[in-house]
Amino acid sequence: MMAEEHTDLEAQIVKDIHCKEIDLVNRDPKNINEDIVKVDFEDVIAEPVGTYSFDGVWKVSYTTFTVSKYWCYRLLSTLLGVPLALLWGFLFACISFCHIWAVVPCIKSYLIEIQCISHIYSLCIRTFCNPLFAALGQICSNIKVVLRKEI
């Protein structure tokens, strides 16, 4: 009975991960496009003082920019959104696969091998360098430096 409940719980967790409900109001909950893609008419087109166009031209330009940006984005996202989502999903799946099955095992293998090499290295240092530097320390320990100021 307990094994069945555990299996049902695992199935529910897997279902919840793949059937996550998306927010249709806030489509950028992590604000990844906060400063990058927010481009309004005032960010692109500006008339300095003394060089104003007719008010009607300015209003029509504003409307044309805003509406064309809106509908062009909608058209492009309709035509290319799903294929690009497929492409990006495939790309990130490949990156995840490589990271999980190649990068992390290589790093773990490297760390295991380098640990063995580090023991051999430290053994060589203690065997050859420690006596050498101890002898040099003994030789140099009797050196005395005297500073004199000559007038």
- 41-86, pLDDT tens digit by residue? 888 888 888 888 999 999 999 999 999 999 999 999 999 999 999 9
The residues, any chain, with a CB within 8 Å of residue 61's CB and separated by 6 or more, are 41, 45, 53
Q: Distance between CA atoms of 90 and 84, rounded to whole angstroms?
A: 10
Q: What is the dihedral sign for C-alpha 143, 144, 149, 151?
A: negative
**pLDDT of amino acid 16:** 58
Going from N- to C-terminal start, the domains of the chain cover: 38-142
pTM, two decimals, is 0.55
b/e map of 98-110 (b: 16 or more CB within 10 Å)? eeeeeeeeeeeee
Residue carrying structure tokens 């897997």: 14
